[in-house]
Chain A
Amino acid sequence: MSSQLLYAFAGVALCGIGLFGYIRLDHLLRKLLAFNLMGSGVFLVMVGLAQRGGEPDPVPQALVLTGIVVAIAATALAVVLIRRYYHLSGRTTLAESGPEPKNTPKPEAHPEGAEV
């Protein structure tokens, strides 16, 4: 088992942890962080598995670069949506039940999501 394969297994672990967080965590920003963790895991698997022979392989490295940019775009879009959702509804989770906050937008000086 080469050291590159170790990276792949680390990626596997990250995928598992990220998946758990993605499903269990309710706060939207934390779900997003879990998604990024999973993404990092997938990238590690991609590079680690392909380079298990010890030779550096530029193709998966380029793919991971592309993947990182796509993940950034997706994360940025998610953050903008979550922020707008928070400003319009006062909620930080997708749950529809629970105490209904006043349906007026929060004032601007409100500290951003005290939990995070």
Chain B
Amino acid sequence: MRVLGVVTMVVACVVFAGFLGLAVWQISGAPAPVSLPGLLAVNLEASGVEHPVTAVLLNFRSYDTLLEIGVLVIAGIAGISMARTTSLEDPDLRTSDSLLYALQRWFVPLMLLLAGYLLWAGSDRPGGAFQAGAVLAASGVMMRLGGIPMDFLRPGVLLRLGLALGFTVFLLVAVASALAGEAFLAYPEGFAKPLILVIETVLTFSIAMVLLALFVSAPVNRAQEPEEGERG
């Protein structure tokens, strides 16, 4: 009976993949009528950055980016809502790997440097806030595993402020231009490049904070409440 279940599932997934592949094949037969890369190339200088992907992310489709940072902050909030409310010195999370202890002295500064470079490089080659934030978070994870207590990750206002900072700055920039009479998220003339730089920097920091907070808040607390109407 179980074999029958597995076989039906396999067949169903193969059929699905088949339909999908067929659709891809049919679509690839004709070129697309609208060409966004063309439109992009025309408007690239007006956007303030040289790299087209960064321009799309932080200028043409900046609303998507704003909401997506919001999604990240939500995950962070949900994560810290389940975090241990006492100390963060959980012996479970610290490895006893002496190799790690030794190497992190070399790796962490290099990774911080790499994160800074990725952030700066985003303006005219692949790079940007997310990549830099991910590397920064990874160096934080490494420090945590290596037993370095990071006080700013203790549950409290500072942690929540760090989570929210990048998003807040982005939002303030967005509404500032709206108050000036333009649409939401429209950068004023000539200010595009410095604003994008500021936003990216703060975003890097916040993305790293959210990812790190999610890693650190993994040990869960006992606090729970019974379902409505149930005895605890």
- Do B78 and A80 touch across chains, with their CB atoms under 8 A apart? yes
Q: Check: B88 CB closer than 8 A to any chain A CB.
A: no
Flag if B6 contacts A83 (CB, 8 Å). no
Whether A77 contacts B57 by the Cβ 8 Å rule is: no
B108 interface residue per 8 A CB criterion: no
Interface membership of chain B positions 148-179, coded 1 if the CB is closer than 8 angstroms to chain A and 0 otherwise? 00000000000000000000000000000000
Option from B24, B56, B130, B217 in Cβ contact (under 8 Å) with A8: B24
Q: Does A23 contact B (CB under 8 A)?
A: yes
Within 8 A of B (CB), among A48-93: 49-50, 52-53, 55-59, 61-63, 65-66, 68-70, 72-74, 76-77, 79-81, 83-84, 87-88
Considering the chains assembled together, what is the distance between the CA atoms of A49 and B71 in angstroms? 27
B17 touches A69 (CB 8 A): no
- Chain A residue contacts of B55, Cβ below 8 A: 58
A12 and B28 in contact (CB under 8 A), knowing A80-B218, A88-B224? no
Interface range, A side: 35 or more
Q: A16-B14, A77-B78, A109-B92 are in contact. Are A59 and B24 (CB under 8 A)?
A: no
Assess the B72–A45 pair: CB atoms within 8 A.
no
Are A45's CB and B24's CB within 8 A?
yes
Known A-B contacts A69-B130, A70-B68; A62 and B57 likewise in contact (beta carbons under 8 Å): yes
Instruction: Check if A76 sits within 8 Å of B79, measured CB to CB.
Output: yes
Are B57 and A16 within 8 A (Cβ)? Answer: no
Asked whether B13 is an interface residue with its Cβ less than 8 Å from the other chain, the reply is yes
Residues on A with C-beta less than 8 A from B217 are: 80
Q: Provided the pairs A17-B13, A20-B10, A108-B92 are in contact, do residues A84 and B220 lie with their beta carbons within 8 angstroms?
A: yes
**Which of A12, A52, A66, A80 contacts B64, CB < 8 Å?**
A66
Out of B9, B40, B65, name the residue touching A20 (CB < 8 Å): B9
Which residues on B are within 8 Å of A, measured CB to CB?
6, 9-10, 13-14, 16-17, 20-21, 24, 27-28, 31-32, 36-37, 40, 52-53, 55-57, 61, 64-65, 68-69, 71-72, 74-75, 78-79, 82, 90, 92, 130, 207, 210-211, 214, 217-220, 222, 224
Q: Which 8 A-B pairs have the closest CB atoms?
A: A16-B17, A58-B52, A73-B75, A62-B56, A20-B13, A77-B75, A76-B214, A84-B220
Sample (14) of A-B pairs whose CB atoms are under 8 Å apart: A13-B17, A16-B13, A19-B13, A19-B16, A23-B13, A45-B20, A49-B27, A56-B37, A61-B53, A66-B64, A70-B71, A74-B71, A76-B75, A77-B78
